[in-house]
Structure 1
């Protein structure tokens, strides 16, 4: 199992580099501006602070660099960033406090829908426009999110390349009887609900949901004992708890195991293309192992 998971991790790194790094770096070359030269962009286009790592990833692909006053502090953390870390660190970051954001005096603040009410109130009392976003549950919702951010930053044409990479929703084949069951075992030993973006991508890749068959919903916990007692065809490990790393998992001879980077399912936007590629590779590995 360890060898299989190490091989999957290596392939995953290539997928991330192909799907995330190259397009972002290309975009940076095409629209590079000196980091400190904010005059041209700020006179015409709104200046923006983002407080959410998923929105950060979309913002840096749709806004002109001089418009981005700061990203969330998560994007400076290699374990949490949805942006190649070298690219993210070209921009300042805040800890998300109202005082930090007010000091930057942006025109627009991008935030998740669960922004602290006190923080939002302080920003709005300071005259700032706060735009909130939920977590996209479908490809269509992710596309709408990209288009909305591009409109907000006054650069609608910039959404095109990212939308092309996201693509349109594909047909699901998970209803077929032979669809292998998959359990996405997230950090904290929990599973995603069926009304989530990653659940849709799993169906699109031709998998059936093992957690749904077990009657589990969003953020329900699956203990190691339950995995052993009723294993799926494919176990995607996306956490580092003791149960998720337990050697007893080696006994699941008929279960295909692979690591799955959480950065590929926490956000939509730029993460969708490499997530699709990784799931396709996992499906191919599974089919190959069965032959």
Structure 2
């Protein structure tokens, strides 16, 4: 091969080598950028109790800038001890702005004025709706995990919760004892509500359906005596600090008429919001069925 031929060959080899190096570097930089983006999860301020709970489940600690003040109340917060590691807010715009979060998570009943103010200053605001069924609860987990950049964690959690619910649904029960959710002033829930679905999946017959209540309603003391459930399920916000409304289930008429229902007390924190603890509650109430 002559000198010119050798030069052309070296040039081709050198050019190919440069190209390979360039492609490798580009891939490396792209990979690094992708890793950095993956590491930089959005920071969050929650101004809603239910969002607090799911944020604590799904977010990394470094993402959480502030939670609502209700997250520090034992009566409302499932993860009260964990929540106490973080600052709180009362949902005021002036408390949120200095934190400059990437995302603010509010509830469907958060003040419209607050939401408009937050959006007006350029903050991203997402609304977490109230979960009124197992499906909507799982949907909230999925959506919030996406907002937080934690979709894989959300998918894994939803999958596990579905498996637990399906396992309960597939078990056959020889009997379904009768129960009434009996909140202060006789407020109760029907089958088309999260707590109603919890009762159904746990294996109880909800007596609210016997009087035509499908979502939310009231059962008077007289009606409760007629229905004569095997159990009443209560969720006092502060146990043993009875108000007159809460004391309805202690009325002397209940015992004088022979109503001998078991009273099942469920922590209010397990019933205020929907989340993984809701499936825990189904399993706990199923154990009560098996003992009836």
The TM tier, using the shorter chain, reads: 0.7 to 0.9
Query: Following the alignment from structure 1 to structure 2, what is the Cα–Cα distance between the partners of residues 165 and 224?
Result: 40
In the alignment, structure 1 residue 90 sits paired with structure 2 residue 85:
yes
Give the distance between the partners of 2:274 and 2:161, measured in 1 at CA.
9
- CA 280–237 in structure 1, closer or farther in 2 if over 3 Å, else same: same
Checking the alignment, whether the CA contact within 8 Å between 1:166 and 1:272 is kept in structure 2 is: no
2:146 to 128, 140, 151: 151
Equivalent pairs, count: 246
Tell me what 1:70 maps to: 66
Among 178, 193, 207, the alignment partner of 2:204 is 207
The aligned runs of 1:29-178 (5 Å cut-off) are 44-83=40-79, 85-160=80-155, 162-168=157-163, 169-170=165-166, 178=175
Q: Deviations over 1:15-70 (max 9, x none)?
A: xxxxxxxxxxxxxxxxxxxxxxxxx9998221101111111111112111111111
Aligned twin of 1:228: 225
**Structure 2: unaligned runs, 5 residues or longer:** 1-35, 237-241
How far apart are the structure 2 equivalents of 1:140 and 1:216? 21
> CA–CA distance in 2 between the matches of 1:282 and 1:149?
32
SS at match of 1:81: coil
Structure exhibiting the larger radius of gyration computed from Cα positions: 2
Once the two structures are TM-superposed, the CA of residue 176 in structure 1 deviates from its matched residue by 8.7
TM-score (norm 2): 0.75
For structure 1, which segment, 185-194 or 203-212, has the greater mean C-alpha deviation from structure 2 after superposition?
185-194
Is 1:244 matched with 2:238? no
d(CA) in 1 for partners of 2:67, 2:111: 17
State the Cα deviation string for residues 47-103 of structure 1 (Å, max 9, x = none): 1011111111111121111111111111111111131x2211001110111221122
Alignment-derived partner of residue 281 in structure 1: 287
- Structure 1 unpaired stretches of 5+: 1-39, 287-291
Summarize the Cα distance change of 1:128–1:188 in structure 2 as closer, same or farther, 3 Å threshold: farther
CA contact (8 A) 1:165 1:273 kept: no
Q: Structure 1-normalised TM-score?
A: 0.75
CA distance in 2, matches of 1:127, 1:42: 23
Shift of 1:254: 4.8
Task: Work out whether residues 189 and 221 of structure 1, in 8 Å CA contact, stay in contact via their aligned partners in 2.
Answer: yes
CA RMSD, 1 decimal = 2.8
Which deviates further from its counterpart, 189-198 or 68-77? Answer: 189-198
* Residues 42 and 98 of structure 1: CA distance in aligned 2, closer, same or farther (over 3 Å): farther
Contact between 1:57 and 1:270, CA under 8 Å: does it hold in 2? Answer: no
Matches of 2:37 and 2:62 in 1, distance apart?
A: 6
Mapped to 1, the partners of 2:176 and 2:279 lie a distance apart of: 22
How many Å apart are 1:192 and its aligned residue? 1.6
Question: 1:127 Cα deviation (Å)?
Answer: 0.9
Q: Distance in 1 between matches of 2:47 and 2:184?
A: 22
Distance in 1 (CA, whole Å) between partners of 2:220 and 2:132 is: 26
The structure-2 alpha-carbon separation of the partners of 1:246 and 1:268, relative to structure 1 and needing over 3 Å to count, comes to same
